Amino acid sequence: MFSNEEKESIYKVIYNRRDIRSFLSTPISEDKIDRILSAAHHAPSVGFMQPWNFILISSDEVKEKLAWAADKERRSLAIHYEGEKETNFLSLKVEGLKEAPLTICVTCDPTRGGSHVLGRNSMPETDMLSTACAIQNMWLAACAEGLAMGWVSFYKKNDVRDILEIPPHIDPIALISIGYTDDYPEKPILETANWRKRESLKSLIFKDKWQETN
**CATH topology (fold) of 19-186:** NADH Oxidase (3.40.109)
- Predicted pLDDT at 161: 98
pTM: 0.92
Distance CA 94, CA 57 (A): 15
Q: Residue 201: pLDDT band by 50, 70, 90 thresholds? A: very high
The answer to whether the CB of 170 falls within 8 A of the CB of 107 is yes
What are 13-42's pLDDT values in tens digits?
A: 999 999 998 999 999 999 999 999 999 999
Q: Calculate the alpha carbon distances from 46 to 108, 130, 138, 169 in Å.
A: 13, 6, 18, 19
Q: How many residues does the chain have?
A: 214
Give the tens place of pLDDT for each residue, 154-191: 899 999 999 999 999 999 999 999 999 998 999 888 88
pLDDT in tens, 103-139: 999 999 999 988 778 777 788 889 999 999 999 999 9
Residues 44-57 pLDDT 10s: 999 889 999 999 99
Domain residue ranges in the chain: 19-186
Q: What is the pLDDT of residue 52?
A: 97
